[in-house]
Amino acid sequence: MNKDLVVKRRGLYFEEFEVGQRIITSGRTVTESDLVTFAGLSGDYNQIHTDAEFSKNTPFGQRVVHGLLGLSIASGLAMRTGVLEGTVLAFREINQWKFIKPLFIGDTVHAVMSVKEAKALPRIGAGSLLITVELKNQQDEVLMKGEWTALVLSKPGAA
């Protein structure tokens, strides 16, 4: 009996993206463990993130999750959709990123991505996508937003 597992390509090629196309990710709940792990990895132990008693006396009234962790989660959610798996060559730029509202432990977030521009780069067998990204919480409030530029492979044989 053949027990080989055949994994098919999940990612979309550059030519399969269209300007105006929207991709909505699944949700993910941000945990205490996420915050503590990120603080350790980044070395950012700012009290607003790590000291519950200190944070009670801030305008937020509680600890705030690192903004850069929110950005990282947005990136992970984008990859979980599978649309870039195996076809993304490079994550080139983060443009005009804005942190609008705080992200808290216990928030369930999802990302909304929209293809804003597509530029073929036949010389390298790929294309450049400008993607607007919004990270939203469980109340559908935009917590952060901006634009990402990614290089995505062209279909084999595309000229």
The full set of domain ranges for the chain reads: 14-153
**What is 14-153's CATH number, 1.10.8.50, 3.10.129.10, 3.40.50.2000, 3.40.190.10?**
3.10.129.10
- Give the separation between CA 153 and CA 89, rounded to whole angstroms: 7
This prediction has a pTM of 0.91
pLDDT-derived band at 10 (thresholds 50, 70, 90) equals confident
Q: State the pairing for strand pair 88-99/142-153.
A: antiparallel
Q: What is the pLDDT of residues 86-141, one digit of tens each?
A: 999 999 999 999 999 999 999 999 999 999 999 999 999 999 999 999 999 999 99
pLDDT at residue 2, as a whole number: 62
Name the region of 68 (left: φ>0; alpha: ψ -120 to 50; beta: rest).
Answer: alpha
